[in-house]
Amino acid sequence: MQGKIIIAVAMALLLSACGENATMKEKTSETAKQFVARIQAEGALLEEESSAAQWVRNTYITPDTAILARKAGERSLAFQSSMVKQAKQFRDADMDTETARAIELILRGSSAPAPNDAALRTELSAILTNMEGQYGSGQYCNAAGVCRELQELESVLAQSRDYDELLDVWQGWRQVSPPYRKEYQRFVEIGNQGAKDFGYTNLADLWQGGYDMESEVFVEESRRLWGEVKPFYDELHCYVRGRLSETYGAEKVPNEGPIPAHLLGNMWSQTWDNIYDIAEPYSGVASLDVTSALVDQGYDELQMTKTAEAFFTSLGLPSLPDSFYKNSMIKKPRDRNVVCHASAWDIDNGNDPRIKQCVEINEEQLETLHHELGHIYYYLMYKDQPSVFKGGAHDGFHEAIGDTIQLSMTPAYLKKKGLIGETVEGYEATINKQMKMALQKIAFLPFGKMIDEWRWQVFSGEIAPEDYNAGWWRLREEYQGIAAPLERTEADFDAGAKYHIPGNTPYTRYFLSFIMQFQFHKSLCDEAGFEGPLHECSIYDNKAAGKKLGDMLAMGQSKPWPEAMQAMTGQPDMDGSAIIDYFGPLNDWLKVQNKDQQCGW
């Protein structure tokens, strides 16, 4: 689902062939426009080398590739520090609108801002490289000596219904992260220094300030959006907890309080669709077993990827370049460790887009492919923008595109593709379909919100290093109604068992994307002329919807995100009402099912 995006517009991560000394040279006679042009030219010189070093590190985890990635990281951090320092002199200068936008984006920095101190930059690069490598090579060996990597452990959580087996796998993966807990603490210290050097209070202030509004305003905006959808999540949580109690017994899953974290079919309890068999409202109505169809029909990794591409091209968007299939990694190699976490990469300004994903033949992975290709098509559509504008309108836009396409993978679409049999119409079929999707889309929302709530509090010092794990579980219970199934202490580092923590990928983007994708879906369905319930709409093969989507993608981040939102939806704000509209039938059904239950935790 979620991918670490390597986009050319991340100017802070571009390398300069001129080196630190050259870029630090004073350019007193330079105008803001000339500065932006120079920075883009210098960054482009070694951009491809930087991306290649990171790609090789992710697809060949060895001590040698760690050195290459670390050195490339050091140079990019030096370039970043120099670039931001120089850009500050233009804050109050007169300039045209486009140049002002470019300066603003440069001054935002990155998720790992580079301190002005060279030794700290070297240390920061080493920490980020080491943490990601340790996560990518992690495995758990049980008492019987059977060792399994993350993908295999995830399969157990998805398929097993044995309480003790699930518990063993859940706690086993969390043995991977304690070794880099101290490194993460040091990353926070160095990152906060970098943020201060950029003119921010700390990393939380910098991250929150990347949304074309003041940090405080953005924090309130994200809380407002969560408040719009929380009542629906509460109903879903109540219903699922009841079904789990019936399955495992009230002594293991009481009908009051939080849900044990290992029982929801996912390593991090972030999506619950793998326990659809437990939560299915109407048994056997409208089979939605896409995975069996993929396996029975002999789909392989390439055919899965081609199927995802075909949705985008049906909208009138371009075919993927030949280099995509030549250079992407869509199958886990047998001979080496790799970072299997799915991600999309823009290696050469839209000329060499690729994905890294250890594709498995199942429905979840098919959906993930659509997600990752959403990033790829964003790259392709804004490739002609200046480098500084190559990015999503904000980071949530980039994450929302592929997931918007997923919403059009309706039963009618899946039948057309031969992935389900005869579709069953009617109320019970609708509730089943919506339940399966809600277990993915609605269950994710509080998880998407709480990860950066934890990091913001860590960065600001509200959660001290000695309370990392306690703070993590406090927020998991507050937002998700989830609890650890066994005692956790500060010897653990459970936040670090999620890729985006050691990988240092901000996570609020995913929360926002899960709100916006429904807005986008509604707008595209309107453009397609669809009439009927929103959950029945598919824009597959509709060129009018495809043009509207493509035109917004081509804007990149050349304009503040409310303008991109206006172009896409006809209004400038993020809004959760489309979710409530989409899931209206299920929301009403859940309220009836839960009327005699003690909901909440």
Provide the token pair at 43.
């960054």
DSSP 387-443: GGG-S-SSHHHHHHHHHHHHTT--HHHHHHTTSS-S---SHHHHHHHHHHHHHHHHH
User: Active-site residue 341, yes or no?
Assistant: yes
Distance CA 398, CA 550 (A): 13
**Mean pLDDT value across residues 455-464:** 98
| Residues ≥6 apart with Cβ < 8 Å to 531 | none
pLDDT for 288 equals: 74
pLDDT for 424 equals: 67
Three-state SS for 385?
Answer: coil
**What is the CB neighbour count within 10 angstroms for residue 49?**
15
Query: How many percent of the chain have pLDDT more than 70?
Result: 95
User: Per mean pLDDT, which range of 24-28, 241-245, 560-564 is the poorest?
Assistant: 24-28
User: Per mean pLDDT, which range of 108-112, 202-206, 393-397, 475-479 is the poorest?
Assistant: 108-112
Catalytic residue among 375, 394, 398, 535: 375
Catalytic residue among 262, 371, 394, 535: 371
pTM: 0.89
User: Active-site residue 510, yes or no?
Assistant: yes
For the segment 584-596, what is each residue's pLDDT rounded down to a tens digit?
999 999 999 999 8
User: Per mean pLDDT, which range of 5-9, 21-25, 354-358 is the poorest?
Assistant: 5-9
For the segment 377-425, what is each residue's pLDDT rounded down to a tens digit?
999 999 999 989 999 999 999 999 999 999 999 988 999 999 987 766 7
Task: Give me the numbers of helices (H) and strands (E) for the chain, helices first please.
Answer: 24, 6
Which band of pLDDT confidence, cut at 50, 70 and 90, is reported for residue 46?
A: low
pLDDT for 119 equals: 94
Catalytic residue among 123, 154, 399, 477: 399
- Give CA torsion, residues 131, 135, 141, 146, to 10 deg: -150
For the segment 168-213, what is each residue's pLDDT rounded down to a tens digit?
999 999 999 999 999 999 999 999 999 999 889 999 999 999 899 9
**What is the CB neighbour count within 10 angstroms for residue 420?**
20
| Residues ≥6 apart with Cβ < 8 Å to 286 | 411, 423, 424, 428, 429, 432, 433
Distance CA 490, CA 244 (A): 29
Burial of 405 (0-12, 13-18, 19+ CB in 10 A): buried
Catalytic residue among 74, 154, 364, 372: 372
User: Active-site residue 399, yes or no?
Assistant: yes
The DSSP element (H or E) to which 445 belongs, if any, is helix 427-460
CB 151 within 8 A of CB 138: no
Three-state SS for 219?
Answer: helix
pLDDT for 43 equals: 79
pLDDT for 284 equals: 81
Catalytic residue among 8, 69, 342, 484: 342
* 2, pLDDT greater than 80: no
**Mean pLDDT value across residues 113-127:** 91
Catalytic residue among 47, 195, 279, 341: 341
Catalytic residue among 262, 500, 521, 535: 500
**Mean pLDDT value across residues 504-513:** 95
pLDDT for 44 equals: 74
DSSP 536-575: G---TT-HHHHHHHHHHHHTTTSS-HHHHHHHHHSSSS--
User: Active-site residue 375, yes or no?
Assistant: yes
Distance CA 315, CA 545 (A): 7
pLDDT for 28 equals: 55
* 21, pLDDT greater than 50: no
